[in-house]
Amino acid sequence: MSKEIEVKVLGVSLMEMENKLKELGAELVAEEYQINTVIDTKDRYIEKHLNSYLRIRETSNLLTGKRTIKLTLKKNIGKEKARENIEITTAIDDKKAMLEILKNLQFNVVQEGYKKRKTYVYENIRFDLDKWDENTYPYEYMEIEVKKEEDLDKAIELLDINKEQISTKSIMELREEEDKKCTL
């Protein structure tokens, strides 16, 4: 179980952010392709009643060739200045079997998304440069993850980020907003 403090930076060029990170001397620690499978009940019990989501993430690290599959319950515990979550994660070795177990417990796949991610680290600050498939979320963005909130201000200043671009919304909330725009 771990606590994470993160924000999304919307409306940025990933190429520009990556260049800034390289200039700072940030270390590229991962380049990944992910399949993220969100699971919930038909009435969205996990999302609505627990303010959480359950996901299976298959990750292929393109730098190392390592492949992992993890099941995570991500519980939101706050989102004033940053999004604070408790993550309970375990490795699994058979996604199909896990999905079958969950199906028998009345949990179903509610969404599957595909993401390319590059991760840089600078002074204990993690920068994830994310691009989802068009159906999941059509805009690229950067996530900043820190252990202490003070480091968030430092990261924003280092990269000269406009605070109006900062969002504490989850990818699910951003998707819902995007879906609403498309129906108007």
pTM: 0.93
Query: How does pLDDT run across 76-88, given as a tens digit for each residue?
Result: 999 888 999 999 9
Reported as a pLDDT band with limits 50, 70 and 90, residue 183 is low
How does the average pLDDT of the chain come out, rounded? 94
Q: 92 near 85, Cβ under 8 Å?
A: no
The pLDDT value given to residue 184: 61
Output the six-digit token pair for 10.
């919307």
Distances (CA, A) of 111 to 35, 64, 89, 101, 178: 10, 28, 19, 17, 15
Domain enclosing residue 7, as ranges: 2-183
Whether 172 and 47 have beta carbons less than 8 Å apart is answered as yes
Alpha-carbon distance of 21 to 127, in angstroms, equals 9
Q: Rounded to an integer, what distance in angstroms lies between the CA atom of residue 159 and that of residue 163? A: 11
Contacts by 167-172 with C-beta closer than 8 Å and gap 24+? 167/7, 167/8, 167/9, 167/10, 168/7, 168/8, 168/79, 168/80, 168/81, 168/82, 168/83, 169/8, 169/79, 169/83, 170/53, 170/76, 170/83, 171/113, 171/132, 171/136, 171/137, 172/38, 172/47, 172/53
Pairing state between β 125-132 and 52-61: unpaired
Q: Give the C-alpha separation, 170 to 184, whole Å.
A: 22
Q: Report whether pLDDT(157) > 80.
A: yes
For position 113, which CATH number holds?
A: 2.40.320.10
Report the distance separating Cα 134 and Cα 59, nearest Å: 19
C-alpha count within 13 angstroms, C-beta hemisphere, residue 80: 1
Domain count, the chain: 1
pLDDT in tens, 109-131: 999 999 999 999 999 999 999 99
